[in-house]
Amino acid sequence: MAFAEGNELWKLNQNVGREKLFETPELLWEAACKYFQWCIDNPFKKAEAKVISTGNFESEVQIITIDVMRAFTLNGLCIYLGCSSSYFRAFKAQERKNKEAFISVITRIEEVIYEQKFTGAASGFFNANIIARDLGLTDNKAVAHTISDMPDWMKDE
């Protein structure tokens, strides 16, 4: 099934070579909020088969389209804003007179993205394994084992 109209994120902002992406932290936050709202307003479309009883032990199958929540992502935000993720990382690290205000907004954006993915996965809207890997939530188990009775030929000299 092809993407439904409106699911073409890359077509939204095709500006190339502008002066500066964000003059103020407020403009950055406003742009991020527009991206978040765009994600909410443009869910993915998924076709599902639904069996409907028609009576007398008969049924028919109907194909229905359902909306599927779109995850907020930093890459998606960057595409929406018309910049690369490397530009966004460099922008975050860039020295400027109001750097603390920009850092605060960027941190808030990252926290909103994290929270939406986490709660979406926890409630079953997103694939929990994929989101856990993306968010760095791994279940690592370190195993340390020592051998006390090692043969002489295995010991360091």
SS3 state at 54: strand
Q: Is the pLDDT of residue 140 over 60?
A: yes
Matching residue, tokens 């998924």: 46
Q: What is the pLDDT of residues 42-60, one digit of tens each?
A: 998 988 888 888 888 888 8
More confident residue, 18 or 29: 29
71 with 99: CB under 8 angstroms? no
CB atoms under 10 Å from CB of 59, counted, come to 11
Containing 85, the helix (H) or strand (E) segment is helix 85-93
What residues does each domain of the chain span? 20-136
According to CATH, the topology of domain 20-136 is: Topoisomerase I; Chain A, domain 4 (1.10.132)
- Mean pLDDT computed over 74-84: 92
SS3 state at 47: strand
Q: Is the pLDDT of residue 11 over 70?
A: no
Tell me the C-alpha distance between 75 and 91, whole Å: 14
CB atoms under 10 Å from CB of 6, counted, come to 14
- Mean pLDDT computed over 54-74: 88
Q: What is the pLDDT of residues 82-139, one digit of tens each?
A: 888 898 888 888 888 888 999 999 999 999 999 999 888 888 888 788 887 877 777 6
Tell me the C-alpha distance between 119 and 97, whole Å: 35
Tell me the C-alpha distance between 46 and 37, whole Å: 20
CB within 8 Å of 78: residues ≥ 6 apart: 84, 85, 87, 88
Which residues, in sequence order, are bridge partners of residue 47?
65
Note the pLDDT of residue 72.
Answer: 94
pTM of the model: 0.69
